[in-house]
């Protein structure tokens, strides 16, 4: 399967502007043969914690992803602030989740909610935490998505490893800690013997945070299959679940894991 990570800038808190900018980039990824196209964390708003930034499930961001998936016949995913429905409650008064939404060309939609709000930046005060990993099988490839700060917590990657061929990590990772991003993506691939794709934004956020991109695809052996620097671009690579199986068969490390 060909994967495309769309490394893009984000217009702060302007969904329509971001939809307009990203539609063409998804189209270019599909034209390049990608079957799975990834946008960044909070691709439609930026990493904003402004009260009221949340949207309903199946709101404008999820509809954008679904429309692009249907238009191009590909899977499209990215994260956005979503308020989950609550029976008998007022949804508008609830904190949103940072949700990774994966939309398929057949109209199906899957969600993963960020497990680890970024408390260092106050995300835990504005966003709810999810409950656990989610794995989706697409064309025989078992995909487990995570979001940004989740990358620092190896244990959740470990738990998902037996059922994962490809980890997806979408992010607004700051340039000040770019070496951590690069090292941890490779570490998660090596220790779990699975592909890892990191899709990070570029540009300056509304709060002044700089982002360096450094999107990449890492093989189950930790090799860099495709990388990007600090500009808007597509990162393309082909991944094969058979390579994960072969790597784990040659080096049977996972069976020795404890905890």
Active-site residue numbers? 41, 114, 148
Please give the Cα distance from 203 to 6 (Å, whole number).
Answer: 13
Handedness of CA 209, 65, 5, 120 (dihedral sign): positive
């Amino acid at each position: 399967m060909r994967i495309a990570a769309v490394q893009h800038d984000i217009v702060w808190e302007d969904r329509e502007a971001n939809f307009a900018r990203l539609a063409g980039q998804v189209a270019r990824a599909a034209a390049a043969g990608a079957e799975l196209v990834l946008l960044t964390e909070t691709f439609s708003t930026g990493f904003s914690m402004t009260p009221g930034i949340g949207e309903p499930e199946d709101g404008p961001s999820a509809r954008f992803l679904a429309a692009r998936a249907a238009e191009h016949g590909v899977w499209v995913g990215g994260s956005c602030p979503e308020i989950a429905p609550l029976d008998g409650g007022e949804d508008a008064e609830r904190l949103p989740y940072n949700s990774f939404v994966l939309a398929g060309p057949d109209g199906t939609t899957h969600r993963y909610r960020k497990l680890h709000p970024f408390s260092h930046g106050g995300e835990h005060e504005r966003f709810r935490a999810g409950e656990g990993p989610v794995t989706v099988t697409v064309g025989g490839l078992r995909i487990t998505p995570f979001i940004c700060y989740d990358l620092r917590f190896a244990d959740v990657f470990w738990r998902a490893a037996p059922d994962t061929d490809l980890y997806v990590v979408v992010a607004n990772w700051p340039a000040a800690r770019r070496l951590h991003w690069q090292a941890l993506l490779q570490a998660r691939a090596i220790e779990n013997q699975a592909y890892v794709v990191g899709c990070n934004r570029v540009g300056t956020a509304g709060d002044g945070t700089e982002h360096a991109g450094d999107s990449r695809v890492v093989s189950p052996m930790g090799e860099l299959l495709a990388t990007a620097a600090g500009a808007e671009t597509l990162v393309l690579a082909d991944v094969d679940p058979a390579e994960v199986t072969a790597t784990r068969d040659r080096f049977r490390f996972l069976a020795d894991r404890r905890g």
